[in-house]
Amino acid sequence: MAFVNSLAGIIHRFATWRRSPRPTSGMAWPLHAEWLEVRCLLSYAITDLGTLGGTGSNGYALSDFAQVVGPSLTQDNQGTHAFLWTNGMMTDLGTLDGAHSIARSINNAGSVVGDSGHAFLWVDGTMIDLGTLGGPSSAAFGINNKDQVVGESESSGDRFVHPFLWQDGAMIDLGTLGDQSYANDINDEGQVVGISQIGNLSHATLWADGQITDLGTLGGSNSYVYRINNAGQAVGQSQIPGDSASHATIWDNGQAIDLGTLGGMNSIAMGINDRSQVVGVSTIVGTDWHPFLYSHGVMTDLNDLLPAGSGWVLDVASGINNLGQITGSGTINGQTHAFLMTPNYVTPDFVQVVGLSPMTNEVARMESVRFSSERQADPAAAQRVPGVLFGQMLQPSAGTIRQPMPTGRHAKDIPFAAPTEVEDGAGLLTLTPLCAGL
């Protein structure tokens, strides 16, 4: 049976052997696995989110329930209004100033933030004016699942733009590193990321635990950060040494990591989920910009993941949720529309199991075990489109994986029983889905 080798033909996470009493001869060792990934990505389905009556819309962000927000042109292109798309229906969220509005982020409760002259919070059909820090204008860019909102506001004293945190009905100035700063996103831990202007430079910035931290660059002069996930990984862009180009960047544990490009000079990371999957835009060879998905160390043009004959040319990928669904904008029938891309998976018939000895780090056992779950997709498609993506918890037993369990990021210690020659200690177990031959 052929292996499938692409974006991640291996399981993304390792499982660990826990310490346990030495079994008697012939008994199976109890192995414990955490967050095992055993599904094969076939392709993406794409949904046209439409407009509010005009000729264009853009998807900026989405929740884990596939609710998408962004701006759309209204009837006869008379204005731009914030929208919320849910289950096939696009809703006009209205305005504060009577003229325009833009929705920029959404949490899993369906609360939406954006700007309409002032920063707003939209909850259950009502648009709430969040006010300002004393100046004439403000805008909200991020919201977490605790309804904490961040953004930017002009202040009353210096008229510079300051970052704010809004919670419990009050707007708080987060302070700046230089002349002015902007807060772009906040995670569920209360960590805030944004941009600080320091003299003539702009640097990615983190506000956390009462401290303001310059996240630095890839070696160039300027950097910009736009989103942060619940693991504290932040994404944006940074100039490289010599300032000849700007590359998509992820900041992880204090380190700026270059994600590369699709072959061109420049790239920008615009969204990240809790599985460290990143979306954004990059130039290809030449100057054209294409949207990308960065997963398991590989950057892929999203246009290459579209189903054949879709009619779409994708332009921008702005957000990705924890189910791997992506929103952004692209061209369909001559118009720019917001889209929702949803991954299609298939459960493989077989998974290769490899156990490494904790003492020698050599392969202690290798075998293929069969899924008993029903096939979920066209066998030919599984051979054409290789790869593996996230999210299936397993409940194996006696060396055979019997039934996939619902996805759950917080479930742990799912038992996997398989014979092994390892006597004691901690080792590594890897699983590889065999997607061909379904």
Q: Does the pLDDT of residue 178 top 90, yes or no?
A: no
- Structure-block tokens of residue 13: 């996470």
pLDDT computed for residue 212 by the predictor? 97
Assess contact for 139 and 163: CB atoms under 8 A.
no
Average pLDDT over residues 70-74: 98
- pLDDT at residue 161, as a whole number: 93
In this prediction, residue 41 carries a pLDDT of: 66
pLDDT digits (tens, 9 = 90+) for 99-111: 899 999 999 999 9
CATH architecture of 44-345: 6 Propeller (2.120)
* Domain boundaries along the sequence of the chain: 15-39+347-434, 44-345
**Mean pLDDT, residues 216-231:** 98
pLDDT above 70 (res 116) = yes
pLDDT tens track for 318-343 = 999 999 999 999 999 999 999 999 98
DSSP symbol at 424: S
**β-sheet bridge partners, residue 365:** 355
The whole-number average pLDDT for the span 188-214 is 96
Provide the pLDDT for residue 250.
98
Identity of residue 148: Q
| Model pLDDT, residue 97 | 79
CB 10 within 8 A of CB 26: no
Cβ–Cβ contacts within 10 Å for residue 225, how many? Answer: 26
Residue type, 314: L
- Phi/psi class of residue 408: alpha, beta or left (left: φ > 0; alpha: ψ in -120 to 50)? beta
pLDDT band at 360 (very low <50, low <70, confident <90, very high): low
Sheet strands (E) in 242-362: 246-252, 255-258, 267-272, 278-283, 289-295, 298-301, 313-320, 326-332, 335-346, 350-356
User: What does pLDDT average to over the chain?
Assistant: 77
* Predicted TM-score (pTM) of this structure: 0.76
| Predicted local confidence at residue 381, as pLDDT | 30
User: Exposed (0-12), middle (13-18) or buried (19+): which is 88, by Cβ within 10 Å?
Assistant: exposed
